[in-house]
Amino acid sequence: MAKENTEEQDVLSLVAGGRPKGRMLFAALAVGSAVLLILVGGQTEPGAEGGGWWNEPRNGPIFALSLMFVFSVLAAIFAAPAEGPAAKRLTVIALLVSAGFLAAIWLMGLIGYGLSVLAFCALCAAIAGFRGRRLAAVAAGLALAMLVLFRFVLGLWFPKAALFKLAPWLETLGRFL
């Protein structure tokens, strides 16, 4: 019973009083994203008629800034700092995912959207602890879902990657990847 009260007091003290410095960073991100959300309407122009809601220039920033605002507010209120080995592990994971995302974007021009997303999903699934067949299934499933979402639901097609311009049979395959 005493242990529960101690944990409850620790949470209350983190929320009420001794906020770590990282919380102030999240609060600043929330304020910055709120300001940018307010300004986004005046900074963009309407897209071409008949282009669909997903092609409106303001919708991408509104979506991304809204997510950043919500998660920054949540992190500013509830995030507890990691200490010791856990902090180092979480930092390494964050850096690996960030580097993997940047690599996937860079690879899009070389191997195409589908294959670069598959590589990124495989990296994230491996970091999450999936191995063997489960790793392949999770990565393939997520990559397929992203491919269907972007290509067929939203109608966004990327130019052919360098790999698919090397041979005629690859060009046909490149239409879908």
* Region for residue 50 given its phi and psi (left: phi exceeds 0; alpha: psi -120 to 50; beta: otherwise): left
Kindly report the number of other CB atoms within 10 A of residue 127's CB atom.
Answer: 13
Give the domain-ending residue among 32, 51, 81.
81
**Per-residue pLDDT, 47:** 67
Between 141 and 42, the more confident residue is 141
| Both tokens assigned to 10 | 């620790």
Q: What residue numbers bound the domain in which 143 lies?
A: 83-177
**Per-residue pLDDT, 55:** 63
Chain centroid offset of residue 152 CA: 20
**Per-residue pLDDT, 164:** 83
Residues in the chain: 177
Domain co-membership, 90 together with 77: no
CB-based contact 73:37 (threshold 8 Å): no
Domain co-membership, 90 together with 60: no
Domain co-membership, 87 together with 164: yes
Report residue 11's pLDDT band, with 50, 70 and 90 as the boundaries.
very low
**Per-residue pLDDT, 9:** 46
Residue pLDDT, tens place only, 22-50: 778 888 889 999 999 898 877 777 666 66
Report residue 12's pLDDT band, with 50, 70 and 90 as the boundaries.
very low
Give the domain-ending residue among 55, 81, 107.
81
Domain co-membership, 98 together with 168: yes
Domain co-membership, 67 together with 89: no
One-letter amino acid for residue 65 of the chain: L
Give the domain-ending residue among 46, 81, 116.
81
Residue pLDDT, tens place only, 149-168: 888 877 777 778 888 888 77
**Per-residue pLDDT, 16:** 45
Residue pLDDT, tens place only, 72-120: 888 888 877 777 787 788 888 888 998 999 999 899 888 888 899 999 9
Is the per-residue pLDDT at 146 higher than 70?
yes
- Give me the torsion for CA of 19, 63, 42, 45, rounded to 10°: 160
Sign of CA dihedral 107, 108, 109, 115: positive
**Per-residue pLDDT, 88:** 81
d(CA 66, CA 68): 5
If you search the block for the tokens 């974007």, which residue do you land on?
105
Number of domains in the chain: 2
Domain co-membership, 30 together with 75: yes
Domain co-membership, 122 together with 142: yes
Domain co-membership, 43 together with 94: no
**Per-residue pLDDT, 150:** 82
**How far apart are the two ends of the chain, measured CA to CA in Å?**
57
